Structure 1
């Protein structure tokens, strides 16, 4: 179901790592499970990723206390190696993630269509927290 006129929210970060490392940490399921959650009370016990146009991804995000979990999943619509990832979440919302290679650092700009149930500020802060977690993980992993 296509929804018209959704509000777009943009979040950003700069990762102190070269694009090859950033791309690998973003797309490899073994790395995704280490950063794809918004707070220390949550984790990502499962991730699967087929990074190609038409490929599917799924990440399980769960409260560590077992009280709640959900699968974040979708289908890739456009991939430009080390530059751009676009996908559609199963609920029909679109997401675009742009990567800019600055040599020893990489800028990430992620734009997603907001959902209708949660306040925009809550969605922006949640997605930004996950992106900040990605930055922290990527800058310290091997």
Structure 2
């Protein structure tokens, strides 16, 4: 179901990660790590990730289903980076902010983004929730 003519409602995903903020920040912004955790569903993967992590720098994450060529390049620009606090970016004019909050030895990650007007809101929400859960599993199982 398309929602192109509906008012834009931001989508939000939040997760608690049982790792310190410094580790979360490091692996959130590392291209090799991104290819391992940037996976929304079990039948998807991220075979390529390019990142120029600075304000004005670009990112490009290739995401696709494992057994088909169906996929897309998530490409954008970093607009504002507040070290170990937040990352603001845009992709085709759609804004995204990822916020990081340390709580004891844990980190809360909150991603707020403008939805794509041609993809169902439910699919986008489950996609982003899945990526955050994949990141949580990746980093919590990593020996740091």
Corresponding residue number in structure 1 for 2:100 = 99
Structure 2 unmatched runs, 5+: 1-6
Aligned-partner Cα distance in 2 for 1:130–1:24: 17
Report the alpha carbon displacement of residue 12 of structure 1 after superposing the two structures with TM: 0.1
Q: How does 1:109-128 map to 2 (within 5 A)?
A: 109-128=110-129
Provide the rounded CA distance (Å) in 2 between the counterparts of 1:136 and 1:111: 21
What residue in structure 1 maps to residue 85 of structure 2?
A: 83
Which residue matches 2:61?
A: 59
Which residue of 23, 32, 36 maps to 1:21? 23
* Gap regions ≥5 residues in structure 1: none
4+ residue runs over 2 A deviation: none
Q: Cα deviation per residue 1:74-128 (whole Å; 9 max; x = unaligned)?
A: 0000001110000001x21000000001231000111000111222122111111
TM-aligned CA deviation for residue 67 of structure 1: 2.9
TM (norm. structure 2) is 0.91
Secondary structure of 1:137 counterpart: helix
Q: How many aligned residue pairs are there?
A: 137
Q: Distance in 1 between matches of 2:108 and 2:83?
A: 15
Q: Tell me, what secondary structure is at the counterpart of 1:20?
A: helix
